[in-house]
């Protein structure tokens, strides 16, 4: 090698070394995102859970990085998931909680996180809750659904189509209803009441848990849901079996990936309502149903780590454990949980909940575990799930297509615990907008109409007629609105938010 060549290869080596970690196809880490539903910051042992033990999650935290200021994109499910998979803020697409028969909200012409990973040679799979819509108009549940995970970039899918409290109560595998009897076709309605499964408001005697007026549609497995449904008797899910069915499917997907790096988006139903723990987990916490399903969820996490260990894949798997939005107590079902027993704080010291713009709405329990590359520790970097797209693209050394992931930024080093650098500005979407700038938290005055059922709930959505500004270093629980003392900070943050929202 000539001196000149040596110099240029050294430069190339350095450039690569600084910007990315380059892997051969065989060395590429598997990527698993375990996405829990409605789990709050304080609901896991390492973050102070009181009434329930989460040994499997705590082990991940102890051997990985536990993040204290990492956020989902929004305080509800569909918007957060949309942002995770597209690297785009949910407001850009008006993404909001979807009904069970809503069309797919992800543009299939655009690159997504799984499509990007496929280009990098990954086999991709999603197991669990979807809630991003399916098809493009009225769905025929008796045929393969034309638009869904496949078109979004997943090679394999096994889904709860929307939420556990919405019809249809069936699983979809690769966009077909599992176990459907063609002689008993499925019809679903979110408008007119259709005859079929009895209606909750007419038959309270059939119910395992009583509900608010919004959850009184089709009664299936003793639980009344949002929406009406007819047919598909053989295909109905049993809520109590969710942990086993989903875990077994995720396990199967992992075991099938012998020679290829894979991306698994394991999207649990727990701890969303209806909270109907399997008998194995009933009374496994001191908090009643909400605690029991946390224990059940922890068991699912343990099954995934166990499978990765047994297949010798744990060492080189980047596992991200987190949640889609903050905690909520009874969200439609009266399950007599003792959620706050022993001073358990679902949102930790943070104010708010699911649906709320205060910190507990989006500050998520977040753990990154990758024995081969990540050193155990705690990180206070200010991070958002919107950035996983570009950070993972950097990890696998894959370009992001032009126009894709417009809001995503590369924070790979921080996600891997190698830097404490976080976002300069971080958007928190709810029924109004929150913006973080270091220790400062700005909340825009009320901006969208809020559904009545949110107002009726015991949650604190956070919108006010006036601006709110908190100093989280001194006041992490957002108790003292000090916007009048800091007009200059308010101005900077207001302007930045306007730029993000492109109002200017
Ligand atoms: C709300 C439901 C709530 C829950 C939520 C979605 C009512 C009154 N409430 O609309 O029960 O299903 O949607 O939760 O309809 S999420 O975690 O998927 O965002
Ligand atoms: Ca959720």
Does 1 have pLDDT greater than 60?
no
- What integer pLDDT is reported at residue 172 of this predicted model? 98
C-alpha to C-alpha distance for 278 and 269, rounded to whole angstroms? 13
- Mean pLDDT, all residues of the chain: 94
pLDDT in the model for residue 454: 79
Place of tokens 């809750």: 129
Cβ of 81 less than 6 Å from ligand 1: no
Report the predicted TM-score, pTM, of the whole model to 2 decimal places.
Answer: 0.94
Which tokens sit at 83? 């942002």
Superfamily of domain 27-186+231-416: Alkaline Phosphatase, subunit A (3.40.720.10)
Q: Report how far ligand 1's centroid is from the alpha carbon of 97 (Å).
A: 7
Name residue, tokens 């009897």. 181
Please tell me if the CB atom of residue 269 comes closer than 6 angstroms to any atom of ligand 1.
no
What does the pLDDT look like over 301-353, one tens digit per residue? 999 999 999 999 999 999 999 999 999 998 899 998 998 999 999 999 999 99
363 alpha-carbon distance from chain centroid = 12
Ligand nearest to the CA of 322: 2
Residue whose pair of structure tokens reads 């949102």 in the numeric block: 347
Residue written as tokens 């929150």?
Answer: 434
- Compute the average pLDDT of residues 385-410: 97
Q: What pLDDT, on a 0 to 100 scale, did the predictor assign at position 6?
A: 41
CATH 3.30.1120.10 fits 431-501, yes or no: yes
Which has the minimum average pLDDT: 78-87, 110-119, 160-169, 254-263? 254-263
Give kind and range of the element (H or E) at residue 335.
Answer: none
Interior CA angle at 354 toward 348 and 359, to 5°?
Answer: 50
How high is the pLDDT of residue 245?
A: 98
pLDDT, position 310 = 97
Q: Is the CB of 163 within 6 Å of ligand 1? A: yes
pLDDT at 94 over 70: yes
Protein residue closest via CA to atom 7 of ligand 1: 214
User: Is 502 or 367 the better-scoring residue by pLDDT?
Assistant: 367
Evaluate if residue 209 carries a pLDDT over 70: yes
Amino acid 73: pLDDT: 98
Residue 458's pLDDT band, with cuts at 50, 70 and 90, is low
* Euclidean distance between CA atoms 25 and 295, whole angstroms: 36
446 vs 417, more confident = 417
Query: What is the pLDDT at residue 7?
Result: 41
Atom 16 of ligand 1, nearest CA residue: 77
Mean pLDDT of 43-65: 98
CB 326 within 8 A of CB 24: no
Q: Is the pLDDT of residue 227 over 50?
A: yes
Domain boundaries, the chain: 27-186+231-416, 189-230, 431-501
Residues forming a β-bridge with 229: 188
């Amino acid at each position: 090698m000539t001196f000149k060549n040596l110099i240029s290869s050294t430069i190339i080596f350095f450039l690569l070394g600084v910007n990315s970690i380059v892997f051969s196809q065989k060395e590429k880490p598997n990527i698993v995102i375990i996405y829990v539903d409605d789990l709050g910051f304080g609901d896991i042992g390492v973050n102070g859970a009181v009434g329930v033990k989460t040994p499997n999650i705590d082990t991940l935290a102890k051997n990985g990085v536990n993040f204290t200021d990492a956020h989902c994109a929004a305080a509800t499910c569909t918007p957060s998931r949309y942002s995770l998979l597209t690297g785009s803020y949910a407001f850009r697409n008006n993404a909001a909680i979807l009904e069970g028969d809503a069309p797919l909200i992800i543009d299939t012409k655009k690159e997504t996180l799984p499509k990007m990973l496929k280009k990098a040679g990954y086999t991709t799979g999603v197991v669990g809750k979807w809630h991003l819509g399916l098809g493009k108009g009225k769905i025929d549940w008796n045929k393969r659904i034309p638009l869904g995970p496949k078109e979004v970039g997943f090679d394999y899918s096994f889904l709860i189509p929307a939420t556990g409290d919405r019809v249809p109560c069936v699983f979809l595998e690769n966009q077909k209803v599992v176990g459907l009897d063609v002689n008993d076709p499925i019809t679903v309605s979110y408008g007119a009441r259709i005859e079929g499964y009895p209606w909750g408001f007419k038959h309270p005697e059939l119910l395992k848990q009583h509900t608010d007026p919004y959850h009184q549609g089709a009664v299936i497995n003793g639980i009344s849901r949002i929406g009406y449904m007819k047919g598909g008797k053989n295909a109905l899910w049993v809520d109590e079996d969710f942990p086993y069915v989903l875990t077994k499917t995720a396990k199967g997907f992992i075991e099938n990936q012998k020679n290829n790096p894979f991306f698994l988006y394991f999207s649990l139903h727990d701890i969303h309502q209806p909270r109907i723990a399997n008998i194995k987990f009933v009374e496994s916490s001191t908090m009643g149903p909400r605690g029991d399903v946390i224990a059940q969820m922890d068991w699912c996490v343990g099954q995934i780590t166990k499978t990765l260990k047994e297949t010798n894949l744990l060492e080189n798997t980047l596992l991200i454990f987190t949640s889609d939005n903050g905690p909520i107590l009874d969200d439609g079902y009266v399950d007599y949980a003792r959620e706050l027993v022993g001073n358990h704080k679902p949102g930790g010291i943070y104010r708010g909940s699911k649906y709320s713009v205060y910190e507990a709405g989006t500050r998520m329990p977040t753990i990154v575990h990758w024995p081969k590359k990540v050193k155990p520790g705690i990180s206070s970097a200010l991070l958002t799930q919107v950035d996983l797209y570009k950070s993972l693209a950097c990890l696998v050394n894959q370009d992001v297509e032009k126009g894709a992931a417009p809001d995503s930024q590369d924070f790979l080093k921080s996600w891997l615990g190698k830097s404490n650098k976080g976002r300069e500005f971080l958007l928190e979407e709810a029924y109004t907008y929150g913006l973080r700038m270091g220790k400062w938290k700005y909340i825009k005055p009320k901006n969208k109409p809020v559904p009545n059922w949110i107002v009726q709930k015991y949650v604190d959505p956070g919108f006010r007629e006036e601006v709110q500004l908190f100093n989280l270093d001194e006041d992490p629980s957002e108790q003292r609105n000090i916007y009048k003392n800091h007009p200059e900070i308010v101005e900077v943050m207001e302007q930045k938010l306007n730029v993000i929202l492109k109002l200017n």
